[in-house]
Amino acid sequence: MSGAFNIGLALLDRQLLDSEGRRCGKVDDVALEGAPGGPLEIVAILSGSAVLRRRAPIAGRLASLFGGDGRVRVPWDEVVEFGAHVKLRKTASEYGLGRGDDRLKTFIAKIPGKDR
């Protein structure tokens, strides 16, 4: 995936979808590489409340309150497509994404009608 685009408009805060279409976080930041004066290249997507907190302290704290203090780095090669959302190659659990939902699943499993 190559070409120049505006990271702030086209990538940041977009919904992450895993290979099964599960929503598993947002693009909270990106890791860039490049020499001074040269073009920058995205090498990874960063997601999680610890990442968000650097950009938006209040929202980041809110996120860590509900979803734990996570920080996940997904290599850019794992991005299959991006537009309205960012689609990843593997499942969320393989990247360590969506752990907040996974933790609560055991609690929800005890509730009658959990699959209705």
User: Please, what is the minimum distance in Å from the beta carbon of residue 36 to other proteins?
Assistant: 31
Q: Does 110 bind other proteins (CB under 8 A)?
A: no
Return the residue of 19, 23, 50, 76 that touches other proteins, per CB under 8 A.
Answer: 23
Contact between 111 and other proteins per CB under 8 A: yes
Contacts 24+ apart (CB under 8 A), 64-73: 66/100, 67/99, 67/100, 68/99, 68/100, 68/103, 70/96, 70/99, 70/100, 71/46, 71/47, 72/25, 72/46, 72/47, 72/48, 72/96, 72/97, 73/31, 73/44, 73/45, 73/46
Query: Does residue 84 belong to the site contacting other proteins (CB under 8 A)?
Result: yes
CB of 37 to other proteins, least distance (A): 30
Position among 16, 44, 45, 51 found at the interface with other proteins (CB under 8 A)? 16
Pair 53, 70: CB distance under 8 Å: no
Q: Is 71 in the site for other proteins (CB under 8 A)?
A: no
Q: Does 78 bind other proteins (CB under 8 A)?
A: no
Q: Are 96 and 67 in contact (CB under 8 A)?
A: no
Interacting residues toward other proteins by CB under 8 A: 9-10, 15-16, 22-26, 47, 59, 62-63, 66-67, 83-84, 98, 100-101, 104-105, 107-109, 111, 113-116
